[in-house]
C-alpha cells in the first residue's frame, strides 16, 4: 500500500469505517482538485491533456462535495470498510494527476519532465494513460459502491477517442517546443 497521507490512518487500523474516517481524504481530494484547477488555468503547454484530466477530477470533486454535504444519506457508503482503500487509492491517483499537470503544464516543468523521462519507458503519453486507467479503476469501484447514486467520473467510450487525440496533439506540439 502507498504511504499514508499526513493525518490519514491506514485502513488496517479500522474495524468499521464512518464519515469521520473519510473526512481527511475528502479534504485532500478537494484541495488537490483546486490545485489542479489553478494549474490548468495557468497552463502554458499541454493544455489538451491538462483539460482531459482537469474535467475528470473536477467532476469527481463535485461528487465528493455532494457526498460530504449529504453524508447522512450516504452513511452506508461510509460504513462499508472496503470503500476506504478504494477512496484512498482514488485520492492518491488524483494527487499524482496534480503533480503530473504541474510538471507538464509549464515550460520550466516540462523541460525537467522531458529531460528525466525522454529515455525512459515512462513517457508523457504512458504516464497520462496510466493516470486515466487508475482514475477510472477507482471511479468504477466507487460508482459501484454507491449503487449508482454517484458518478465519480467513469468516462464513456467516446471519451477515450478524445483522450487519444489530446495526447497525440500535445505530444506533437511539445516536440516543436522542446
Task: Considering the domain delimited by 17-177, tell me its CATH architecture.
Answer: Up-down Bundle (1.20)
| Residues 153 and 56: beta-carbon distance below 8 Å | yes
What are the pLDDT tens digits along the chain (178 aa)? 344 444 455 555 556 688 999 999 999 999 999 999 999 999 988 899 999 999 999 999 999 999 999 999 999 999 988 899 999 999 999 999 999 999 888 877 666 666 665 656 567 888 898 999 999 999 999 998 888 888 887 666 667 777 878 877 877 776 676 5
What CA–CA distance (Å, rounded) separates 25 from 67?
12
Q: Provide the residue ranges of all domains of the chain, joining segments of one domain with +.
A: 17-177
| Residues 86 and 145: beta-carbon distance below 8 Å | yes
pTM for the model stands at 0.84
Amino acid at each position: 500500500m502507498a504511504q499514508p497521507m499526513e493525518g490519514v490512518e491506514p485502513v488496517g487500523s479500522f474495524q468499521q469505517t464512518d464519515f469521520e474516517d473519510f473526512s481527511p481524504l475528502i479534504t485532500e481530494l478537494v484541495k488537490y482538485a483546486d490545485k489542479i484547477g489553478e494549474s490548468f488555468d495557468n497552463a502554458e503547454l499541454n493544455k489538451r491533456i491538462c483539460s482531459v484530466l482537469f474535467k475528470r477530477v473536477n467532476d469527481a470533486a463535485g461528487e465528493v462535495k455532494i457526498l460530504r454535504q449529504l453524508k447522512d444519506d450516504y452513511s452506508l457508503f461510509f460504513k462499508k470498510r472496503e470503500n476506504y482503500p478504494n477512496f484512498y487509492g482514488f485520492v492518491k491517483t488524483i494527487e499524482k494527476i496534480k503533480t503530473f499537470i504541474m510538471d507538464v503544464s509549464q515550460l520550466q516543468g516540462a523541460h525537467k519532465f522531458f529531460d528525466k523521462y525522454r529515455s525512459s519507458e515512462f513517457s508523457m503519453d504512458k504516464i497520462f494513460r496510466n493516470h486515466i486507467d487508475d482514475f477510472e479503476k477507482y471511479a468504477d469501484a466507487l460508482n459501484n459502491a454507491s449503487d449508482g447514486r454517484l458518478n465519480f467520473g467513469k468516462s464513456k467510450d467516446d471519451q477515450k477517442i478524445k483522450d487519444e487525440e489530446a495526447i497525440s496533439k500535445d505530444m506533437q506540439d511539445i516536440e516543436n517546443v522542446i
